[in-house]
Chains A and B, each alone.
Chain A
Amino acid sequence: MIRSFHIALKDLKAEFRTKQLLNSMLIFSVLVLVVFSISFGDFLGDSAKVAKLAPGVLWVAFTFAGTLGLSRTFVLENENGCLDALKLCPIDRSAIYTGKVFSNLMLVLITEAVTFPLFIVLFNYSPGHFSLFGFSLILFLGTFGFIVTGTLLSALTLRTRTRELLLPVLLLPVLLPVLIPAVEASSTLLSGGELGDVLSELRLLAGYDLVFFVIAQLVFEYAIQD
């Protein structure tokens, strides 16, 4: 576990030196929000419609920006044979995976933390009218599920011919069980629901996170073998 943190720390340190990835993820997710906000411009005053549409938009922005980040995680390691060096480390292969999950999770959570206030502004929500704790919980669980699957698939697509193109194609169908409950729960919470109203969504998200984390730990070795 400590070793995974070391790997995550190394990744984050490398990322914060240039901030290339983080910046493009941030700008991209903001752009997605802006584009949707422009195209919904006519009825942004109608709060009933906004309440139905906006959570989907938010998750679209997060998913796309996250996919952007995921597609780069292992590409960096591919240069100068870093991945081989990582594999030579006297650690379990799954520790590499866990480390990558942590670093990706951090990056995406930072992106979300910056994008979310903008989302509130653009879609005219009033802060304080919804439970921030509940929403953060949903956000975390949804993002974790997304990263867990995405990191594994990112390792899988590393050796394919069209890696950046293939990742979303593989990721999105498998991700459906995360996106639906996450969007539903966000919608309920943002329109003033309590945490108790989204218990079944929470359970589903937590179940997905757990199941896929375990499976990914088990099969990750096969995804990075030579």
Chain B
Amino acid sequence: MSRNFRKIEAFLGLLTAGVMLFAFYLMFFYLPPMKDEAGEVLNSSFNIFYFHLPIALSSYLAFAILFLCSLFFLWKKASCWDIYARSAAEVGALFAFLVLLTGSIWAKAAWGWYWIWDIRLSTSLVLFLVYLAYLALRQAVEEPEKRARFAAVFGILGFVSVPMSFFSIRLWRSAHPLMFGQNLGASGKGGGLEGSALKLTLLVNSLAIFLLFASLFILKTQNESLQEKLEEKNARQFDE
């Protein structure tokens, strides 16, 4: 069984690398330069968006996985759900960080600020913080069963709080004048994702990032279950 998994892992890794390279090619060589309404060529900072959107989607996907696995863990008490949950949390934390990173790099080029308290930015930040808190909780409990249970409780709590944060931040921002007017809505939809070249690039990039997420997730899951087996074995030896 483990050999089969090895093969799947290797295959997924290679596939991810291939699609990723193709995505790079599309982004840097195939895409026509961006132009504004007056026909001026803009700088290429927008290209980071092709990473940014799929990474953001994956980080939210990971969060949903974390929530569902936490629920299932509390329900079924099977340790495999805990392994899925913690793998999703670690990969998700990485992706949530990348969202903030790519977003800030783009924002500095486009708006002149690394950070503004916009709804989407703040919600991503909250997501990242919840991930960090989740991982911190995992580190602080020693017994595996208890750790899994506590983490599951916090996973559920955190998952519910993120959409609520979204609403509260929206309320908060709408109470203030918007600093950038319509610019805030510029998640790329306004600028010009028309044209098949752009759509193709976005599609291939999304595929690449999702594959990356999937292979990291599977690798992590395998890693964690091996670790669990090792710990069990060690414990048994210790008992003898």
Contact = CB atoms under 8 A, between A and B. Distances in A.
Contacts of B137: 156-157, 160, 166, 170
Interface stretch (A66-74, A93-101, A110-118, A176-184): A176-184
B100 to A, nearest CB: 14
B74 A173 contact: no
B136 A215 contact: no
B140 A201 contact: no
Contacts of A149: 157
B168 A181 contact: yes
Contact of A225 (B126, B141, B149, B154): B149
B171 interface: yes
Nearest to B152: A222
Interface in A130-160: 149, 152-153, 156-157, 159-160
Interface string A51-69: 0000000000000000000
Contacts of B168: 176-177, 180-181, 204
Contacts of A156: 137, 150, 153-154
B169 interface: yes
A197 B107 CA distance: 33
B74 A219 contact: yes
Nearest to B173: A180
B160 interface: yes
B129 interface: yes
B165 interface: yes
Q: Is the interface of B mostly helix, strand, loop or mixed?
A: helix
A159 B150 contact: yes
Nearest to A183: B172
Nearest to A175: B161
A160 to B, nearest CB: 4
**Chain A contact surface mostly:** helix
Contacts of B129: 172-173
B174 to A, nearest CB: 9
Interface in A181-212: 181, 184, 200-201, 204, 207-208, 211-212
Contacts of A159: 141, 146, 150
A174 interface: yes
Interface string B137-165: 10011100010011011101110110011
B160 A211 contact: yes
B175 interface: yes
A219 B153 contact: yes
Contact of B136 (A170, A174, A180): A170
B140 A176 contact: no
A222 B160 contact: no
Contacts of A204: 164, 167-168, 171
Nearest to B128: A173
Given A160-B137, A172-B129, A184-B171, 19 more contacts: A152-B153, A153-B154, A156-B154, A160-B150, A161-B141, A166-B140, A169-B133, A170-B133, A170-B136, A170-B154, A173-B129, A174-B161, A176-B126, A176-B168, A177-B161, A181-B171, A184-B172, A204-B164, A208-B164
Interface of B: 74, 126, 129-130, 132-133, 136-137, 140-142, 146, 149-150, 152-154, 156-158, 160-161, 164-165, 167-169, 171-172, 175
Interface of A: 149, 152-153, 156-157, 159-162, 166, 169-170, 172-177, 180-181, 184, 200-201, 204, 207-208, 211-212, 215-216, 219, 222-223, 225
